[in-house]
Structure 1
Amino acid sequence: MNNIRIWIIEDDKDWLRGLKAYLNGQQGLEITFTADNPDAVREELAKITNTADVVLMDIMLDGDPAGIALAEEVSISTGARVIMLTSMEEKELIFRSFQAGAIDYQIKSDFEGLPNAIQAAARKESPISSAAAEKMREEFRRLKQMEREFETKTMQDKITPSELQLLKLIDKGYSQSEIASKLVVSIRTVKNHINHILKKLGAKGSKEAAKEAKDKGLF
């Protein structure tokens, strides 16, 4: 059975040497290329003579998250499975790494788990560690909250305070005639307000519009 060919991209030269020695000592693993900067990696990709099965990619290279864009380039050029290496659990960077095509990430201090992660990646099992999965869930929750806040703000900007008051009354179950009486306006005025709201929000009915406003936390 052929050895798993591994590339390591890491800007800490001491850690790079140590990791190379450690992985080369593991049965079935072979380090075929190492680099400590993006330019060296791109030069290697241009040769098309050395390929990889798995690439260990440091997220931070010279203080910049250059490993994320580089991961996408390497994945497309070689078809290798990319595992991101990081010394910190930064959710946004980890999320961006997966968007770039990485299939897992490993904390550098847990280097003893790398052989198993490499073997699983080479088998195309698309392993995502429990830690990585949790970071992904946290980031999705953050993005979902941002989306909700944006939608709420957008709706808030569309309707006036008086229209919002009308939606509150509709949500409480008031009829149009009861609303007209409570607000001391004509039923026709209430109807016009409702039609105006429906056009603004693209809602099919007043109850739907009221529910949408309530669900977005406007009242």
Structure 2
Amino acid sequence: MPSTPTTPPSRVVLVEDHDMVAEAIGLALERAEGITVVARARSIAEALAETRLHRPDVVVLDRRLPDGDGIGAIRDLSVTGARVLVLTGEATTSVATRVAEAGGAGLVLKSSRLEELETAVRQVAAGEVAFGPGLLAGVLDRLTGRVRGAGTSLTAREQETLGLLANGASTDEIGARLGVTRNTVRNHVQRILDKLGARSKLEAVAIARREGLVD
């Protein structure tokens, strides 16, 4: 009798800089039926190199890497035809929307069970999305403009100011970096607080991080 054609396994590049986490995920995916890990990377630069070399079906991408925010690398990683599944410690609608807007195919919490990650990899490899029902509804709302996310009304200068605040810069340091006066910086900060609904700089940074506006 002729043999039944078998579907080749989905090839995965795993991008994770923490060795213990990467080992656990890698072992789980290797044991999963229909999935094979072809390479591991510890940074965005390594991820781009390994993806170009191996042409995987899926890139499982940690969001926070030594050389930047993984979401910013999604478009470049997707050029090879790979679909990108992002791993994150905090899955909010804003972060999920950023992933979707960048061309990512899904978002999985690091605290999820390994079986959930395996399922998400299979979904993404099959051309589906893997955001989870709650997140997906929020992403669709944002992408269709029915909900305005926190921070969407920030000007470019206010976004710069917020980024410097998140890095711990003082009013004088922000003024020096942006080439503006202390009063101008204070005005920028006050508008940021108003737009984010925050009562302090610290709360504004916390909201911005939660919403994926800053790293």
Instruction: Compute the TM-score of the two structures, normalised by the length of structure 2.
Output: 0.59
Shift in Å at residue 89 of structure 1?
A: 2.1
Cα separation, 2, equivalents of 1:145 and 1:19: 34
**2:43 pairs with 1:43:** no
Residue of structure 1 in register with 2:121 after alignment: 118
- Partner-residue secondary structure (3-state), 1:7: strand
Match of 2:106 in 1: 104
For 1:60, the equivalent position in structure 2 comes to 64
Q: How does 1:153-164 map to 2 (within 5 A)?
A: none
Q: Distance in 2 between matches of 1:62 and 1:135?
A: 29
- 1:57 counterpart SS class: strand
CA deviation map 1:170-194 (0-9, x unaligned): xxxxxxxxxxxxxxxxxxxxxxxxx
1:127: how far off? 4.0
Paired position in structure 1 for 2:37? 31
Q: 1:95 aligns with which of 78, 97, 100?
A: 97
Alignment of 1:58-207 (within 5 A): 58-62=62-66, 64=68, 66-76=69-79, 78-110=80-112, 111-136=114-139, 139=142, 141-143=147-149
Call closer, same or farther: CA 1:146–1:126 in 2, change over 3 Å.
closer
For the aligned residues, what is the CA RMSD?
A: 2.7
Give CA deviations for 1:9-64 in whole Å, capped at 9, x if unaligned. Answer: 1122210011001110111110001111112123334xx43111111111111384
Structure-2 change in CA distance of 1:32 and 1:138 (3 Å): same
Deviation at 1:97, TM superposition (A): 1.4
Q: Distance in 1 between matches of 2:152 and 2:65?
A: 29
Give the distance between the partners of 1:80 and 1:2, measured in 2 at CA. Answer: 15
Question: Cα deviations across residues 54-107 of structure 1 (Å, max 9, x unaligned)?
Answer: 11111111384x20121211111x211111111112443322111111011011
**Contact preservation (8 Å) 2:15, 2:41:** yes
Structure 1 distance, partners of 2:110, 2:141, is 21
Structure with larger Rg:
1
Question: What is the SS of the residue equivalent to 1:19?
Answer: helix
After TM superposition, the runs of 4+ consecutive aligned structure 1 residues lying more than 4 A away are 137-140, 144-147
Give the structure-1-normalised TM-score. 0.58
Structure 2 residue runs of 5 or longer lacking an equivalent are 1-6, 156-215
* Amino acid across the alignment from 1:106: V
Which structure has more helix as a fraction of its residues? 1
The secondary structure found in structure 2 opposite 1:30 is strand
C-alpha distance in 2 between matches for 1:44 and 1:62? 16
Paired amino acid for 1:123: A
Structure 1 residue matching 2:55: 3-state secondary structure: coil
Question: How many aligned residue pairs are there?
Answer: 145
Q: What letter corresponds to residue 19 of structure 1 in structure 2?
A: I
Which amino acid in 2 is paired with 1:62? P
1:111-130 per-position Cα deviation (integer Å, ceiling 9, x unaligned): 32112111121111234421
Partner-residue secondary structure (3-state), 2:148: helix
1:18 pairs, out of 14, 18, 24, with 24
Moved more, 113-122 or 26-35: 113-122
Aligned amino acid, residue 96 of structure 1: R
